[in-house]
Amino acid sequence: MASGTDAFVKFDKVQKSYDGETLVVKNLNLDIAKGEFLTMLGPSGSGKTTCLMMLAGFETATHGDIILNNEPINNVPPYKRGIGMVFQNYALFPHMTVAENLAFPLEIRNMPKAQRDKKVQEALEMVELGQFGNRRPSQLSGGQQQRVAVARALVFDPALVLMDEPLGALDKQLREQMQYEIKRLHEKLGLTVVYVTHDQTEALTMSDRVAVFNDGVIQQLSPPDELYERPQNSFVAQFIGENNKLSGGASNIKDGYCDVTLADGTVLKAEATNVVGDGAKTTISLRPERCELAPPQPLDNMVNATIREVLYLGDHLRVVVSLAGEDEFIVKVRNRADRPAIEVGSSVQVGWLAGDCKALDPVA
């Protein structure tokens, strides 16, 4: 995390209320470093888009300060903040050509025409649309329109680029392609990007760090791998990726591990990630790919299960089992020639290592 002295963007004790009573953003403290790609991730109503709109200047903070490049910007109008914006609906002017759309932010900055034309062409080449300057937005595909929107946000060399669900209207294949293109531009140009999405895969793919929001509060701020591998609470574990959840009581906390006794009496060994103490309620988080079906050797946790459903997904099989009172426990099995036969209704043991399951607070 950027420190207070080198933070390029800083939210300092920022709150936001629309009605004067309910806070949709609660005491936000967040530092973003220059050149960082930070994603604000969370469900609808979690406060992530409100934070982006306050940074852009389209919403006003109820309390606290927003600082850009060491300058407070709470009272600076949006057009004077030097920020590029990309929206989900592209927000292109339909009556203008692509080149005119890109030239618009340069015109309002009184850039001379020759320099303007050069910048527009450079921006179009950057998003591989060099020959499309004379077309109207309606003559472009959705992916091409989104590239134009990205180019328009970058054409005036902004200090900061904000993106609000920019790929939400695209199909899966095009969405994935644009993820890589935006990340490539970020790295090539050294951009500082604040990106808002509710798509967890998008956040993990593109970001240097991800801030997971819920109920106006950042639940965890971490690099993608740490967020997935080491969630700090049950909300993050459930929201990021597919996850098995088993609830019980903690005991024998020692050397970073604990026992967790489930409702049916099953005792599991888990990493004590966020456990209050002996006897405390806890929720185990366990990724499906970390479980083994009929492991060849005993693992730290071995539990009898019954296979309920098998889905073939190409590179792996998604196997749903009943286990320790949980009927929707998921195991991902690699699809390889030597995998054991998996039949619905059959009994099998499921095993996993203690270090692969995290005992967390019970909030979910």
CATH number at residue 159: 3.40.50.300
Determine the Cα–Cα distance for residues 52 and 17; give it in Å rounded to an integer: 15
Residues 25 and 104 in one domain: yes
Q: What is the mean pLDDT of residues 309-319?
A: 93
Give residue-wise pLDDT tens across range 80-138: 898 999 987 778 899 999 999 999 989 888 899 999 999 999 999 988 889 999 999 99
CA distances, 176 to each of 39, 146, 168, 188, 211 (Å) = 16, 13, 11, 19, 21
Residues 166 and 23 in one domain: yes
Determine the Cα–Cα distance for residues 40 and 30; give it in Å rounded to an integer: 11
Determine the Cα–Cα distance for residues 311 and 333; give it in Å rounded to an integer: 10
* Local confidence band at 62 (pLDDT 50, 70, 90 cut-offs): very high
pLDDT surpasses 50 at 3: no
* Local confidence band at 2 (pLDDT 50, 70, 90 cut-offs): low
Q: What is the mean pLDDT of residues 135-150?
A: 90
- Which residue from 10, 139, 117 is spatially nearest to 65, judged by alpha carbons? 10
Residues 335 and 229 in one domain: no
Name the burial class of residue 62, with classes exposed (0-12), middle (13-18) and buried (19+) by CB atoms within 10 angstroms of its CB: middle
Sign of the torsion angle spanned by Cα atoms 110, 112, 113, 116: negative
Token look-up 């680029």 returns 161
Residue 2 located in a structural domain: no
Determine the Cα–Cα distance for residues 119 and 208; give it in Å rounded to an integer: 28
Report the C-alpha dihedral over residues 289, 291, 297, 300, rounded to 10 degrees.
130
Report pLDDT for 1: 45
Q: Which three-class secondary structure state does DSSP give residue 295?
A: coil
Residues 351 and 253 in one domain: yes
Domain stops at, among 234, 254, 289: 234
Contacts (Cβ under 8 Å, ≥6 apart) of 7: 31, 32, 33, 67
Residue 1 located in a structural domain: no
pLDDT surpasses 90 at 337: no
In this structure, are residues 210 and 204 in contact, taking their beta carbons and an 8 Å threshold?
yes
Residues 208 and 188 in one domain: yes
pLDDT surpasses 70 at 283: yes
Between strands 160-164 and 193-197, the pairing is parallel
Domain stops at, among 234, 264, 283: 234
Helix ranges (DSSP H) in the chain: 48-56, 98-107, 113-126, 142-154, 172-189, 200-206, 224-229, 234-239
* Local confidence band at 275 (pLDDT 50, 70, 90 cut-offs): confident
Residues 254 and 239 in one domain: yes
CATH of the domain at 289: 2.40.50.140
Residues 217 and 267 in one domain: no
Domain holding 220, by residue range, is 7-234
Residues 248 and 262 in one domain: yes
Residues 279 and 146 in one domain: no
Write b or e for each residue in 193-217: b if 16 or more Cβ atoms lie within 10 A of its Cβ, otherwise e. Answer: bbbbbbbbebbbebbbbbbbbbebb
Q: What is the DSSP letter of 81?
A: S
Give the whole-number percent of the chain exceeding pLDDT 90. Answer: 72
Residue 19 located in a structural domain: yes
Split into its structural domains, the chain has a count of 2
Residues 12 and 132 in one domain: yes
Domain stops at, among 234, 254, 271: 234
Structure tokens at 59: 């919403």
Residue 135 located in a structural domain: yes
pLDDT surpasses 60 at 253: yes
Determine the Cα–Cα distance for residues 267 and 264; give it in Å rounded to an integer: 9
- Supply the mean pLDDT for the chain: 91
Give residue-wise pLDDT tens across range 339-358: 778 899 999 999 999 999 99
Residues 264 and 157 in one domain: no
